[in-house]
Chain A
Amino acid sequence: MSENENDLLGYNRRDFLKGGSYATLMTMLGGVELFAQTNAPPPQEAKVPTIKIKVAVIGLGAWGREIINTLTRMPQAEIPIDAEIATICDTYKPFLRRTATAVPGATLTEDYKTILDNKDIKAVVIATPTPNHKELALAALKAGKHVYCEAPLAGSIEDAREIALAAKTAKHLIFQAGLQMRSDKQRLFLLPFIRTGALGKTVLARAQWHKKTSWRATSSNPEQEKALNWRLNKATSLGLIGEIGSHPIDQAGWFMNVLPTAVTGFGSVNFWKDDRDVPDTVQAVVEFPGDVRMIYDATLANSFDGEYEMLYGSDAAVMMRESRAWMFKEVDAPLLGWEVYADKLKVFNETGIALVAGKSKPPPVDKQGQPIKLDPVTTSPLFYALNNFLLNANDLTLAADDYKSNYGADDVDGMMEQLGKTNREVTVKRPAASYLAGFQAAVTAVKANEAVLSGKRIELKPELYELK
């Protein structure tokens, strides 16, 4: 997922709505705010990281810079990590220059191959335009680097498959698709609620992404400007539904533990009448098994109500906004049990219940009893995704070193077998979107974009999602 590089109109109402005022509004509507237990007060004393890992970031657009900002906050994680950004890479010099100030010690390069040659760099984060993912991911895996590759993995199913198969073969390496919601503590907290039927029978899902922004970047060099605006060209971009919508669509399927069965789309350039051929407004209906349909819409022409995702069941609905979530129960819904332990807030005639997972405590407050403002970076889905990626990569690197120390470096087959098991264990322990999840999300993204561009319903047969 990437954002606009030169966003003059990048304001939206989300900024106005987010924060405490929104929490109050939701509670007034009778929402039960659900907190993951890790949304605890930050530690009083910062711990010295014992884990150190050298990382390179390739692609320094807005999202690449967000990744770098997040990586620099890794020492604040529950298990602190010194993620040393050793090299940053982009073929566009102004991006390199702009980012250099944020990571003063990093080497700057326009050639990603210099990263692959550096044995000290263990992990690579790929945040380039989607069409470049395949070349970079395959080369990084071949060079023995752990890879975090932004989603969608590729602009075609064939390319996504090639990446996923290479990742599958490299059992000694972590490959994580940039579907950050799958690592988010808040969503992982919600997952068992949903999977265990706390919402009743799931009946429908809805998600939106509304922004007032051109998605256009400018450059004095026309050729460079064309490259920067790859998202506006349907030859290189999966458009709003693929680049943005693939995340909430993947999330809905992940929550319900199913894959989409069909997608119908609509799209048009309604507002930004420039030379783009990628719709600035899209709508899609994604069908899931059990007659559950998800309505998704995204636009670059209006920012009202920002972005959120909803899942509706016969007993309750859940709304997710960034790293927060609320539950709205039906009056006839059965008592789940945990409500009695929860802190209750009386607002007008509604009773909202604030929850901290596993605890009968209200949301964290400071010594004056005021709610502690959570760090938007260290509680973001991206933070958890990168944190899990680095911890998993570190574990696997150490396991490889241990293996060589125990059994020697010659037993490559044995090492691959052992590291394959370790790989599974660490990614179960610290959830991350796998190569398979990345591949399947890319399949949906490609097909959903086809549906949007054609205005047709496309069936998504199960074999489409098979990785072979």
Chain B
Amino acid sequence: MKTRTVIAANITLLMLATAALQAADQKIAYNARNGGNMRIEGTANIIHPTWAIVSPMIGGMLEVGPGFPTEPGQEATPGKIEASGTAFMTVRSFKSVESDGKPYSDRMDEVTYEHLKEAQFKKISYKLTELTLKEVAKSKDAPYVFDSTGELTIAGTTNTIKMPVNILPGVDSKGEKRLEITGNITIKMTDFKVEPVDINLVVGHIKTGNEVKLVFKWILGQKKAVAAATQ
């Protein structure tokens, strides 16, 4: 009887220890969900001092390791967090818009696709390589502030970029855990071997500036938890 009790206790302890180890190693995977968008803003000459193109869809996935805050306002420790992921947008999903958000021009869209070499490179993509928590959320409604490093590929050319991002965990109306990741970065198009637009249109001559600002909101939903792959 005594021996049986000791064996049972040992088995229980072993199971608890295994479960704890698994929990510590568990990664959480998120998949892109509807509701995000990417806006690219730039400057031009006198006809349209500013311009913008918008894609209403950002696809991709994100996988985060232990210490990543998945609940609103959850306690977390600043520092590097294991994370990997990719985000992408199809080039043709970008459309030129007026300042009030209304669609602008088919011709401008065409020019955009030509400059981004859409025929050859269908997507703009981003690969996350490093994520560091800098600031913990100040309240349940506030985002966590991270520093991110990743590889941005536009028109077939890849550059490493660093930018701060805000991540707001939450739950959607169906009860699915979600992340809203927002951020922006200014880049030079020539760094990606994309020449600024310099063209005559019906409205006149348009020449765009080299610097553009990428502003994004990426929505992700939590996939079912998966065990970490063996290193």
Interface residues of A (CB under 8 A from B): 37, 40, 78-79, 358, 391, 398-399, 402-403, 405-408, 411, 414-415, 417-418, 421-422, 425-426, 428-430
A421 CA / B90 CA spacing, docked (Å): 18
Rounded to whole Å, the gap between the CB of B31 and the closest CB of chain A is: 8
Neighbour of A78 across the interface among B33, B57, B88, B106, CB < 8 A: B106
A426 CA / B31 CA spacing, docked (Å): 28
Rounded to whole Å, the gap between the CB of A198 and the closest CB of chain B is: 22
The answer to whether B59 and A407 touch across the interface, beta carbons within 8 angstroms, is yes
Q: Mark B89-121, 1 if CB is under 8 A from A, else 0.
A: 010110100000011101100100000000000
Residues from 69 to 102 in B contacting A, C-beta threshold 8 Å: 88, 90, 92-93, 95, 102
Taking CB atoms, residues of chain B closer than 8 Å to A407 are: 31-34, 57, 59
Taking CB atoms, residues of chain A closer than 8 Å to B92 are: 398, 402
A399 CA / B93 CA spacing, docked (Å): 7
The answer to whether B93 and A402 touch across the interface, beta carbons within 8 angstroms, is yes
Rounded to whole Å, the gap between the CB of B39 and the closest CB of chain A is: 14
A429 CA / B31 CA spacing, docked (Å): 31
Question: Is the C-beta of B202 less than 8 angstroms from some C-beta in chain A?
Answer: yes
Taking CB atoms, residues of chain B closer than 8 Å to A406 are: 32, 57-60, 88, 90
The answer to whether A391 and B32 touch across the interface, beta carbons within 8 angstroms, is no
Question: Is the C-beta of B56 less than 8 angstroms from some C-beta in chain A?
Answer: yes
Taking CB atoms, residues of chain B closer than 8 Å to A415 are: 34
- A–B complex contacts, Cβ < 8 Å, 22 sampled: A37-B202, A79-B107, A358-B203, A391-B106, A398-B92, A399-B93, A402-B57, A402-B90, A406-B90, A407-B31, A407-B32, A407-B59, A414-B35, A417-B34, A418-B34, A418-B56, A418-B57, A425-B102, A425-B103, A429-B102, A429-B106, A430-B106
Rounded to whole Å, the gap between the CB of A265 and the closest CB of chain B is: 39
Taking CB atoms, residues of chain A closer than 8 Å to B33 are: 407, 411, 414
Interface residues of B (CB under 8 A from A): 31-35, 56-60, 88, 90, 92-93, 95, 102-104, 106-107, 110, 202-203
* Given known A-B contacts A78-B107, A399-B93, A411-B34, A405 and B59 have beta carbons under 8 A apart: yes
Rounded to whole Å, the gap between the CB of A449 and the closest CB of chain B is: 37
* Total residue contacts A-B, CB cutoff 8 A: 60
- Chain B: interface secondary structure? mixed
Rounded to whole Å, the gap between the CB of B160 and the closest CB of chain A is: 24
Taking CB atoms, residues of chain B closer than 8 Å to A398 are: 92-93
Taking CB atoms, residues of chain B closer than 8 Å to A421 are: 56
A411 CA / B59 CA spacing, docked (Å): 13
Taking CB atoms, residues of chain A closer than 8 Å to B57 are: 402-403, 406-407, 418
Taking CB atoms, residues of chain A closer than 8 Å to B106 are: 78-79, 391, 429-430
Taking A79-B107, A406-B60 as given, write out 13 further A-B residue pairs in contact, using a Cβ cutoff of 8 Å, ordered by the A residue number: A78-B107, A391-B106, A402-B57, A402-B92, A402-B93, A403-B34, A406-B59, A408-B31, A418-B56, A421-B56, A425-B95, A425-B103, A430-B106
Tell which of B34, B106, B202 has the most Cβ of chain A within 10 Å. B34
Going nearest first, the 8 A-B pairs with the smallest beta carbon separation are: A406-B59, A429-B103, A414-B34, A402-B90, A406-B57, A402-B93, A79-B106, A425-B103
Neighbour of A428 across the interface among B93, B103, B110, CB < 8 A: B103
The answer to whether A426 and B202 touch across the interface, beta carbons within 8 angstroms, is no
User: Nearest CB to that of A429 among chain B residues?
Assistant: B103
Taking CB atoms, residues of chain A closer than 8 Å to B35 are: 414
User: Nearest CB to that of B89 among chain A residues?
Assistant: A406
Tell which of A40, A399, A406, A430 has the most Cβ of chain B within 10 Å. A406
Taking CB atoms, residues of chain A closer than 8 Å to B110 are: 79
The answer to whether B103 and A422 touch across the interface, beta carbons within 8 angstroms, is no
Rounded to whole Å, the gap between the CB of A427 and the closest CB of chain B is: 9
* Given known A-B contacts A399-B93, A406-B32, A407-B33, A428 and B102 have beta carbons under 8 A apart: yes
The answer to whether B56 and A405 touch across the interface, beta carbons within 8 angstroms, is no
Taking CB atoms, residues of chain B closer than 8 Å to A408 are: 31
A140 CA / B60 CA spacing, docked (Å): 33
A402 CA / B90 CA spacing, docked (Å): 7
User: Nearest CB to that of A414 among chain B residues?
Assistant: B34
Rounded to whole Å, the gap between the CB of A62 and the closest CB of chain B is: 31
User: Nearest CB to that of B87 among chain A residues?
Assistant: A406
A19 CA / B129 CA spacing, docked (Å): 66
Neighbour of A426 across the interface among B59, B103, B104, CB < 8 A: B103
A40 CA / B57 CA spacing, docked (Å): 36
Rounded to whole Å, the gap between the CB of A166 and the closest CB of chain B is: 24
Rounded to whole Å, the gap between the CB of A185 and the closest CB of chain B is: 12
A403 CA / B88 CA spacing, docked (Å): 12
Taking CB atoms, residues of chain B closer than 8 Å to A78 are: 106-107
